[in-house]
Amino acid sequence: MGRGLGAFGKTVGTQALPQVDSTNLRLKEWAREGRIRPPYLLAADSQTAGRGRLGRCFVSPPGTGVYFSLLAAPPQSADCGKITVLAAAAVCRAIEETTGLRPRIKWVNDLFLRGRKVCGILAEGLAQGVVVGIGINIKTPEGGFPESAGVAGALDVETDRFYLAGLAARHILSGLENLDDPAIIDDYRARMPLIGKTVGYTENGAHKTAQVTGVADDGGLCVLGPDGRHVLRTGEVTLGSEAFLGL
């Protein structure tokens, strides 16, 4: 496991397991039962029931990626949107530092490399704190990703997976110490190349297209469409081929 999860300058509970149902589910259950307290990092080599946003599953086969969740205690005032923004930029930075690769963020918190999704992030709030779950595809599975994984791809690089997880968690924890620092959103904007691109989204059941004009300070996506300016705060956007070129 190399340098492993112990990449911390402060005390963080850690555990690495060969397989779990879902690292998010485990941490939420353990936190509710009072078995763990934040900060706590659980990483797994595979998941049998990896969960994604919008009720999707996250394909998590053994030996190909790292699936991890961080239980953290953010400041009282913190909203999940800002934590999501912090996590996306923090994981990007950790990947860059450990592999030299430069994934880009597709709003709100998918990481893409060479036009393929290499990382997904699912942040969930609970009474005991927030669970930030991150799945990074390191290698393409033998035979490729199943169709259910959509546009999934992998970093396809040799790296110490568990060290990468620990470093990403450390970046998130240090960002949480000053979530109002404008450097966090600036870092996110610099890694999110959709500005000026046309995206699709669904609002009240209607499909719309609009041009991205920026990222609001709270992480919302600012768009300009035929019916004016909007700030998108939930859901996801679809991209045309031109927008994909930047990812």
CB of 47 to ligand BTN, least distance (A): 6
Q: Per CB under 6 A, does 53 bind ligand BTN? A: yes
Judge whether 58 and 193 are in contact, CB under 8 Å. no
Instruction: Return the closest-CA partner of residue 50 out of 115, 118, 122.
Output: 122
30 in contact with ligand BTN (CB under 6 A): no
Tell me which residue has tokens 């998590």.
60
Dihedrals phi, psi of 127, to nearest 5 degrees: -60, -35
CB of 65 to ligand BTN, least distance (A): 8
**Is residue 51 a contact residue for ligand BTN (CB under 6 A)?**
yes
Scanning 49-57, 84-92, 145-153, 180-188 for contacts with ligand BTN by CB under 6 A, the matching segment is: 49-57
In the complex, minimum distance from the CB of residue 170 to ligand BTN, in angstroms, rounded to a whole number: 17
Does 201 engage in binding with ligand BTN (CB under 6 A)? Answer: no
Question: Is position 56 an interface residue for ligand BTN (rule: CB under 6 A)?
Answer: yes
Q: Residue 27 interacts with ligand BTN (CB under 6 A)?
A: no
To the nearest whole angstrom, how small is the minimum distance from the Cβ of residue 148 to ligand BTN?
A: 12
Q: Give the other-Cβ count within 10 Å of 203's Cβ.
A: 13
Q: Which phi and psi (to 5°) does residue 107 adopt?
A: -50, 130
**DSSP string for residues in 22-86:** -HHHHHHHHHHTTS--SSEEEEEEEESS-B-GGG-B----TTSEEEEEEEE---TT--HHHHHHH
Task: Give the CB-nearest residue to ligand BTN.
Answer: 120
Q: In the range 128-167, which residues lie near ligand BTN by CB under 6 A?
A: 133-135
* 87 binding ligand BTN? (CB under 6 A): no
67 makes contact with ligand BTN (CB under 6 A)? yes
CA distance linking residue 17 with residue 26, whole number of Å: 11
Residue 58 binding ligand BTN, by CB under 6 A: yes
Nearest-approach distance from CB 152 to ligand BTN, in angstroms: 9
How many angstroms separate the CA atoms of 116 and 239, rounded? 12
Instruction: State which residue, 67 or 112, has the beta carbon closest to ligand BTN.
Output: 67
Q: Please identify, among the stretches 30-38, 64-72, 152-160, 214-222, the one whose residues bind ligand BTN according to the rule CB under 6 A.
A: 64-72
Contact 68, 74 (CB under 8 A): no
